[in-house]
Amino acid sequence: MSIDRIRQLFSDSIEVKRRVLEGDCLDVLVAMGKEIVASIENNGKLMLCGNGGSAADAQHLAAELLIRLRPQNNRKGIPAIALAQDTSTLTACGNDFGYDQLYERMVHTLGKPGDVLIVITTSGNSNNILKALSVARKNGIAAFGFLGAGGGEALKYCDKAFVVPDDNTGRIQETHITAGHALMEYVEDSLINSGFINFQDK
């Protein structure tokens, strides 16, 4: 790969984010943030899930709330959980019930009314994601999506969706993590400003 190709990849990523800035995608992040904050202030939690790189993004964003997002904000943990759990849980469900049921089972078991679920998917068509969204809505759990490529089937199951205006998997994932960081900062700032979470000693 030449340096020109690498430069083009950076340029393509910037272009997708520029289209997000020029569109109406950002308002939905604020709306999501408000619901997540309200959920947490009412003893709810945020659940996140995805497949492949999106599963890693879900774990990444959950860790930002559970542990620490920004070094200057050394605060108490914020309840968030990535549903791609340990290998025993993943392989047991895959072996005993099928991988398609994994997130559905996790949401049904760990979620409760008033919680929030964020699914992260570049295609919007993964069966395990669609099942998770469906069971969330049936159980009074807000169903949000970080989507791409038009949203896929997941779009009709989401209460709110941030849809990246592109169909390239890499560019969608890069934009998802930017949006995810922005959303987590919104949640953290709101909870600090309201006094709901306090700072702690290192």
pLDDT digits (tens, 9 = 90+) for 84-96: 989 999 999 999 9
Closest to 52 (Cα-Cα) out of 171, 173, 199, 142? 173
pLDDT digits (tens, 9 = 90+) for 138-164: 999 999 999 999 999 999 999 999 999
Give me the domains of the chain, ranges plus CATH numbers.
3-193 (3.40.50.10490)
Pairing label, strands 116-120, 80-82: unpaired
* Predicted confidence band of residue 5 (pLDDT cuts 50, 70, 90): very high
Task: Give the separation between CA 59 and CA 86, rounded to whole angstroms.
Answer: 12
- Please give the mean pLDDT across all residues of the chain: 95
Distance, C-alpha 197 to centroid of its chain? 21
Is the pLDDT at 202 greater than 70? The verdict is no
Task: Give the separation between CA 108 and CA 132, rounded to whole angstroms.
Answer: 8
- What is the pLDDT at residue 52? 96
Task: Give the separation between CA 32 and CA 45, rounded to whole angstroms.
Answer: 13
DSSP letter assigned to residue 113: T
- Alpha carbon separation from 56 to 31, 61, 130, 185, 187 (Å, rounded): 24, 9, 18, 19, 20
Task: Give the separation between CA 11 and CA 164, rounded to whole angstroms.
Answer: 16
Closest to 122 (Cα-Cα) out of 47, 174, 182? 174
Task: Give the separation between CA 122 and CA 167, rounded to whole angstroms.
Answer: 8
- What is the pLDDT at residue 87? 94
* Predicted confidence band of residue 200 (pLDDT cuts 50, 70, 90): low
* Predicted confidence band of residue 119 (pLDDT cuts 50, 70, 90): very high
Task: Give the separation between CA 50 and CA 48, rounded to whole angstroms.
Answer: 7
DSSP letter assigned to residue 157: G
* Predicted confidence band of residue 173 (pLDDT cuts 50, 70, 90): very high
The two tokens of residue 202 are 């290192």
